[in-house]
Amino acid sequence: MKAFAYERAGDAAAAVEAAANGATYLGGGTNLVDLMKLGVAEPTRLIDVSRLPHDTIEETAHGVRVGAAVRNTDLATHPLIRERYPLLSDAVLAGASGQLRNLATVGGNLLQRTRCSYFQDVTKPCNKRRPGSGCPALEGDHRNLAILGHSEHCVATHPSDMAVALAAIGANVHVLGANGERTIPIPGLHRLPGDKPQHDTVLNGGDLITAVELGAPAPRSTYRKVRDRASFAFAVFSVAAAVELENDAMKDVRIALGGVAHVPWRAERAEELLRGKEPTAEAFAVAADAELEAAQPLRDNAFKVQLAHNVIVRTLSELTR
C-alpha cells in the first residue's frame, strides 16, 4: 500500500471541495482499503466522510430517508426498516459479515467495486481497471459473472445485496457535487459497462452521496440470495421482490435481480407481464422466461439462467401465498 494523507471532512461542502482537488472519499473503508492493499486503488489523499451528520434514519411524507453514513448494521436492524422494508433488512444482513456490516456505510455499499478476480489482480489486464487492456474474464474464470447486459469490454457483476433491494423498492439517491444538489433514482445510479466499464455509476467526479430516500413500502416483500457458502459470500444469484395483491390479482410487482449484471437488474419485462395477473406458478414461469430471454451466458455460467428462473418462480410463489 502506498503512503497517503488522511483528514476528516468538517462538512459536506468541504468534502466536495477536497474531492475536487484530488481527494478520495473514505466511508467505512471496507472495500476501498482492500483495494488499496491490492494496489488497485492508490489514492494520495483520503477525506473521511463517515463522521458527517448523515447518520440518521428518518420518516418522511413519502417513505424513509436514510443518511449515507448510516452503518449497514444500523440500517438492517432499525425498526422502521424491519417493519416496512423487510427485503432491505434481509438483503443487508445477507451481505458480508457482522464485523464488516458494523463498519460499512450505506453510501459506500452502493459504490463498492466488483469482486471480479481480474479486476482485483493488478498483474492481469482489465478494462475496468486499465481501459483498453482487455477483458480476460470473457474466456477465463467467469462462472460467477454476468449473463445480462454485459459487453465485449466487461462481464463483471455488481456485488451489492443492498442495491438489489433498493432497485426493487425504487429509491432515490441524494447527491451533492460541485454544481449543487441533485437526485438520482435507483435503478439509474449504476450503469451497464458498454465500452466504458471503468465507470460503475453516472456520478461525476467528486459527487458525494448524502442520503437515500426509500419509496412507499409494498405489503409483501422479500429477498433471497443463492451463494456458494452460507455466509460471507457474494451472490451467485439473488432476487428482491415486492408485491401488492388486490382481488386475487397482482396490482403491483417489483422485481430486481443480483449476481447477473453490471447493475442491480430491474426485471421490468417480467413485472409488466405479471401486473394484473393471478399469482400462479405458471404465470411466474412465463414472466421469468421472458425476462431471461435476453440472457447471454458465457461458457461456464449458463447454469445461472435456469437457476434464476427457478429462484424467481419459487420466491414469488412463496411471497404470494
Low-confidence stretches of the chain (pLDDT beneath 50):
none
Alpha carbon distances (Å) from 230 to 218, 233, 257: 28, 7, 19
**Exposed/middle/buried for 123, CB within 10 Å: 0-12, 13-18, 19+?**
exposed
Cell of 232: 460471507
∠ CA 265-266-269 to the nearest 5 degrees?
120
- Closest by CA to 281, choosing from 319, 253, 246, is 319
* Whole-number pLDDT of residue 231: 86
- Closest by CA to 57, choosing from 81, 37, 38, is 81
Cell of 252: 403491483
User: Distance (Å, rounded) from C-alpha 128 to C-alpha 109?
Assistant: 19
Which pLDDT tens digit goes with each residue over 185-243?
999 999 999 999 999 999 999 999 999 999 999 999 999 999 999 888 999 999 999 99
Q: What is the DSSP letter of 133?
A: S
Give the H or E element holding residue 288: helix 281-292
3-state DSSP assignment of residue 131: coil
* Whole-number pLDDT of residue 191: 98
**pTM higher than 0.95:** yes
* Whole-number pLDDT of residue 62: 87
